[in-house]
Chains A and B, each alone.
Chain A
Amino acid sequence: MRTPVIVGAAECDLGITNKSILHLQAQAVSRALEDAGLKIGDIDGLATNGISRFSATQLADYLGIAPAFTDSTFAGGSSFEMYVARAFHAVASGQCNVVVISFASNQRSAKSRSLGGVVEHHTPEAQFETPFGPLFPLSYYAMAAQRYLFDVVGAREALDEIAMSAREWALLNPKAYRFGAGSLTNSDLASSEMISSPLRSSDCCLVTDGGGAIVITSSDRAKDLKKRPVAILGFGESTTNSSMTTHKNLRVTGAKQSGDRAFAMAGVDRSDIDVVEVYDSFTITSLLSLEGLGFAEIGQGADFVLDRKTRPGGSFPLNTNGGGLSYCHPGQYGILLLVEAVRQLRGECGSRQVANAELALAHGTGGILSTNATVILGAA
């Protein structure tokens, strides 16, 4: 069996681009190929979503290729961590040789994001939840945060610290939307608008354009490519709920099963991980993911972050590009977790580089804490 590795990673334009989704997709794919030292004709596998109903088909057509493998699993922001697993199997089995995983959104330019989310009228959620008027997905995360605040002392400060930590990282990343915006201050937090209590705008990810791509091929094929390959050591996922009322415990997410599966496959310990990228759609998402993944005990995540260890220079570098909160959030952020993890392992991150990063974890979350997928990567 062949050993799949990651050989390319890139972002498309970020922020407010006034470009179409496929224009941004083409940027992401061609930049990732350039990074790898491959050409469009080398691609024979494609995984993407969010373009149209036939997303991978659409992108293949746009790029002028006829791939032997495609995947358009639609599971929100964790889809891209899931695609790593699917691409791994496709390359390992020989179904294809070079898979590009990509995503792009122009949601900010196109003003296509709605606070109520996309209502699909035939679903049980539309019958039994939409009539009450929740913000979607925001109000679900808000209820998870509310329960956490009710149960755990010091949790409000912990949510704020997650937002402040992300901002500190963004100040080191010239590509970050909040690069140059200065530190997030207590007065910024205090004046931040309440959206769905207890979550304020400072707890919520950005709404921007953006995206990226990574390239996966076999270790044999990687030998004559430009960059040192990144090893795919482990992956796991867990799908728990679509409805707002299926998952009983708002504080324990599928990150637990997803993380346990990835760590079991990788055969490494939590303490071995040098850099962690978790999906911070909201501050509470980071907190619950850190607990679910086992970096902190359940209920101890607040204490874990309050000593500022996740900030630049701290002992637990978290969301080193500035995260969805302060760097970029194009609707589904999962691809950018992978791009940053790869760059950290290659030592390409400049002033935000984590010294001697050898093991990285990327953890995606999708929907309303609905899907979780974890990938553990290693420097070759």
Chain B
Amino acid sequence: MSDVSEFPYLPLEDAISAPFWEGTRNRRLLIQWCTQCHSFQWYPRAICISCAGDCLEWRSASGNATINSWTRVHRSPAEGFVPQYVIARVLLDENVLMLTRLVGEFADNPTCDAKVTVKWQELSDGRALPVFG
């Protein structure tokens, strides 16, 4: 994994997203599951976007995903980010899309539709970002 200093943006969590970020401290990838209509959703919300209910709980995702698309970033978006690195949209097996970074061999040779699994990139405050490779 890269040095924590190369991930300078620390996300501001809220009451809805706090369980997700707490899960990352234990390297658990949690996503919301609606107990009423039985669907996953990402990103976390106060409402189910399938049935408009609020019967949402957290479930561990399998961590398996497919690369939907990717891009190698050659310029820095803000101070502290260190290009080059690869951003990707991955489709989790739970049928939700996440934005992430690719790591390892997939960062060297990314390709659409490749299968990847979750890894963790530590942040400077002990939380972690789900990255894939």
Contact = CB atoms under 8 A, between A and B. Distances in A.
Interface in B37-85: 42-45, 68-78, 81, 85
B107 interface: no
A167 B10 CA distance: 41
A115 to B, nearest CB: 5
B99 A128 contact: yes
Nearest to B85: A133
Given A132-B129, A133-B77, A143 B71 contact: yes
B78 A116 contact: yes
A196 B74 contact: yes
Q: Is the interface of B mostly helix, strand, loop or mixed?
A: loop
A112 interface: no
A197 B88 CA distance: 11
Contacts of A198: 71
Interface residues of A, number: 40
A248 B11 contact: no
Contacts of B131: 132
Contact of B75 (A117, A146, A195): A195
B55 to A, nearest CB: 20
Contacts, number: 122
A122 interface: yes
Nearest to B131: A132
B120 interface: no
A240 interface: no
Interface in A96-125: 114-117, 119, 121-122, 124
A146 B69 contact: yes
Given A127-B17, A131-B129, A245-B97, A146 B77 contact: no
A139 B87 contact: yes
B133 to A, nearest CB: 14
Contacts of B74: 193-197
Given A134-B73, A196-B72, A121 B87 contact: no
A134 B87 contact: yes
Contacts of B81: 116, 133
A144 B88 CA distance: 11
Interface in B10-45: 10-14, 17, 42-45
Sorted from nearest, which 5 A-B pairs have the closest CB atoms?
A116-B77, A142-B71, A245-B97, A143-B69, A116-B78
11 contacts: A116-B76, A119-B78, A124-B44, A128-B43, A133-B73, A134-B77, A135-B77, A139-B87, A143-B68, A146-B71, A197-B72
